[in-house]
Amino acid sequence: MKNNLRIASLLPSATEIVCILGLEENLVGVTHECDFPPSVIGKPKLTSSRISHEKMTSSEIDHAVRSQLDGHGSIYDLDTKLLSELKPDIILTQELCDVCAVSYKLVQQAARLFVADAKVISLEPNTISDIFENILFVGEVCGVKQKAIEVVSALQRRLEIITEKIKNISSRPKCFMMEWLEPPFAPGHWVPEQVELAGGKSLLGRKGERSITCTYEEIVKTNPDVLVLIPCGYYKHDIFRQLESTFFPKEFAEISAVKNEEIWALDATSYFSRPGPRVVEGTEILTKIFHPETFGEPSEQEAVRVSKQLIKIRQTASTNL
């Protein structure tokens, strides 16, 4: 590794990868969302958001995002002046999702105009295996290949331990991972895989494919045993705030997960939204929700059970869920 290697991360997940590889000191710039490990919070921020997640409802955010993207715009701004001043050798970004990060085309253009010598690396994971490959790739590019191999091996071993423990468990609860509250989103990419590895049955979403909008009616029809709330980019406290302004159809009250209060709020940002090392921890937390008799109950820091009283139900049946 070049001792003075300068890395700019335009992805919170890439920031986590860089840090777990022991390269935090080489990280010269991050995004406004990068908050793990906490020590990166004070680093120069290269991005900002045009949407206020704190002040808007789920429905309002969804509308704002669609309006921006349908108009071929972006919901993020890139500080090209700061990027030029930081002079990174490597810029880590992605093309996977315009909702998750600055537009790849904008990054490419900025690199050509302001830091022509920088190497732009796009990380495109769709599965857990892809995430591990990304870690290995970043490690190789940054000159810490052996460290990356050690990190991935440790993560794989943790998943193997889960597999060994659940292989004799016959009961696998049906789980819907709600990636947005209104409208509801069914999970894609690595999230269905996390559910299956943890000993559950993932509903509606497909491993390795994009997350998709679904309907409350589809969720009701699948009748999940467990409902896990993981709105993309949210922490637990964000979820509880959004529940105050979210109303579900009357039929929702009949879902097994709601009747049995098997509704859970988890830090989506930490364990599901970001394709980084902590997806393994997210899988471990799910095992405690699905099979507490084997793995123990999740701590409040890991997951919070949501009382059905907090699930606001419309008083009239809906003909269009």
CA atoms within 13 A on the CB side of 78: 24
Cα–Cα distance, 86 to 313 (Å, whole number): 51
Q: Which positions ≥6 away from 140 have C-beta within 8 Å?
A: 148
Pairing mode of beta strands 226-229, 263-266: parallel
Cα–Cα distance, 99 to 127 (Å, whole number): 18
Neighbour-count burial of 235, counting CB atoms closer than 10 A to its CB (0-12 exposed, 13-18 middle, 19+ buried): middle
Domains of the chain: 7-124 (3.40.50.1980), 168-313 (3.40.50.1980)
Cα–Cα distance, 67 to 214 (Å, whole number): 19
Cβ atoms within 10 A of the Cβ of 146, count? 10
Neighbour-count burial of 2, counting CB atoms closer than 10 A to its CB (0-12 exposed, 13-18 middle, 19+ buried): exposed
* pLDDT above 90 (res 130): yes
Specify the pLDDT at position 72.
43
Q: Which string of b and e fits 29-40 if b means at least 16 CB within 10 Å?
A: bbbebbbbeeeb
Cα–Cα distance, 246 to 111 (Å, whole number): 41
Q: What is the pLDDT of residues 222-266, one digit of tens each?
A: 999 999 999 988 999 999 999 999 999 999 999 999 999 999 999
Lowest mean pLDDT among 8-17, 50-59, 206-215, 286-295: 50-59
Specify the pLDDT at position 63.
57
Cβ atoms within 10 A of the Cβ of 163, count? 11
Cα–Cα distance, 320 to 202 (Å, whole number): 24
Neighbour-count burial of 149, counting CB atoms closer than 10 A to its CB (0-12 exposed, 13-18 middle, 19+ buried): middle
Most confident segment among 78-82, 97-101, 102-106, 135-139: 135-139
Rounded to two decimals, the pTM is 0.90
Query: What does the block give as tokens for 32?
Result: 């406004």
Mean pLDDT for 174-187 is 95
Q: How close are the terminal C-alpha atoms of the chain, in Å?
A: 55
Mean pLDDT for 149-174 is 96
Query: What does the block give as tokens for 94?
Result: 């992605």
Query: What does the block give as tokens for 18?
Result: 């860089």
Share of the chain above pLDDT 70, in %: 83
Which DSSP symbol is given to 143? T
E strand intervals along 184-306: 185-186, 201-202, 212-213, 226-229, 247-248, 263-266, 303-305
Cβ atoms within 10 A of the Cβ of 14, count? 29
Residue 229: phi and psi, rounded to 5, are -95, 115
- In angstroms, the Cα distances linking 87 to 90, 101, 114 are 9, 20, 8
pLDDT band of residue 76 (cuts 50, 70, 90) is confident
Residue 203: phi and psi, rounded to 5, are -105, 140
Most confident segment among 2-11, 107-116, 273-282: 273-282
